[in-house]
Structure 1
């Protein structure tokens, strides 16, 4: 009746993308604590969705669909969402729009490269990522927001001008980043929870 593959193996990915759209709404409304909270949880969904998907028995078609849907959702959550953040929080509109364009181009380039490696089964065999995964922005920006607001209220707009180009560069820099093991998964989860707690203490 419908095209595509549907099942529990994609629910977490879809949920994370939905949260990213909600985060965009809160950014536009100026509700930054809610926006950053949704951004973090969206990142956690992406961090664990592969693990969840692999826990289900899937056909080859479902596995391939999962790879494609994950990348397309990442474009929304970790390319479009930071671009909206840059544009909405911009103290210097033209500069922020330019940085948003650079950021999105770098992010989608990183995602396209990863997809190609996955289809050639190179990413599966590797124990490392080449370039920083775009998902890491879901921790970098909220942590940056939290720290900047703790130090100097309202300084995040300036901090963003540094974080965005650095992250864009790291996406496409051919550097080997070890894939997270169980300890790193726990570290990311702990950092996300601490950041969420800190956001709601502001």
Structure 2
């Protein structure tokens, strides 16, 4: 007998984290196109896993377990993964390490705050930028930097990391995505993936 709740309602969340871990491996190997591509895929998994989970009939225990799994996987996908990108790609090593630590602490704070607020009340907006957005911001930043000045991502990542960390914990209202935004994010992800592989 195994502990936990198992079923199709968590498969996409697990798959997203598997892609993030594989992406980290590619980043560590210096294969940024593969790494960024898998980062985008992990972000898409997170974007749609809630929708997929709600399409299945679940017990209260399964629903609560899914919420916890999603948040824990977010720590791998959108806290640890970007920190690895920053530490391995940042041009100034000591600064990259400091910024990566700040980023992780901000992301974890954002996730903890979101979990508490979700349990207390349901709102039509997020407070602070969701950590999931990193899955598009870093790849797009890499893509644009390569287009403008090849090899400049090492500087760009040192700017992106603290900016995102700040926006995670800044008390600003961000509307939750509707169906049109889901389609927009999906199309942006596809365009970015195609552009990455055309570099």
Cα distance per residue 1:139-158 (max 9 Å; x no partner)? 00000000110111000110
Q: Which residue of 1 aligns with 2:2?
A: 2
Task: Measure how far apart 1:49 and its partner are.
Answer: 0.2
CA separation in 1, counterparts of 2:119 and 2:129? 19
CA separation in 1, counterparts of 2:131 and 2:90? 21
Task: Measure how far apart 1:119 and its partner are.
Answer: 1.9
Query: 2:170 matched to 1:176?
Result: no
**What SS does structure 2 have at the residue aligned with 1:177?**
strand
Counting only pairs closer than 5 Å after superposition, residues 1-202 of structure 1 correspond to structure 2 as 1-120=1-120, 122=121, 125-202=122-199
**What SS does structure 2 have at the residue aligned with 1:87?**
helix
**What SS does structure 1 have at the residue aligned with 2:180?**
helix
RMSD: 0.5
CA separation in 2, counterparts of 1:199 and 1:103? 25
Q: What are the ranges of 5 or more consecutive residues in structure 1 without an aligned counterpart?
A: none
**What SS does structure 1 have at the residue aligned with 2:126?**
strand
**What SS does structure 2 have at the residue aligned with 1:192?**
helix
CA separation in 2, counterparts of 1:165 and 1:90? 12
Q: What are the ranges of 5 or more consecutive residues in structure 2 without an aligned counterpart?
A: none
Cα distance per residue 1:66-98 (max 9 Å; x no partner)? 110000000000000001111111211110000
CA separation in 2, counterparts of 1:92 and 1:162? 12
**What SS does structure 1 have at the residue aligned with 2:58?**
coil
**What SS does structure 2 have at the residue aligned with 1:21?**
helix
Cα distance per residue 1:126-146 (max 9 Å; x no partner)? 000000000000000000000
CA separation in 2, counterparts of 1:175 and 1:134? 14
Task: Measure how far apart 1:114 and its partner are.
Answer: 0.7
**What SS does structure 2 have at the residue aligned with 1:153?**
coil
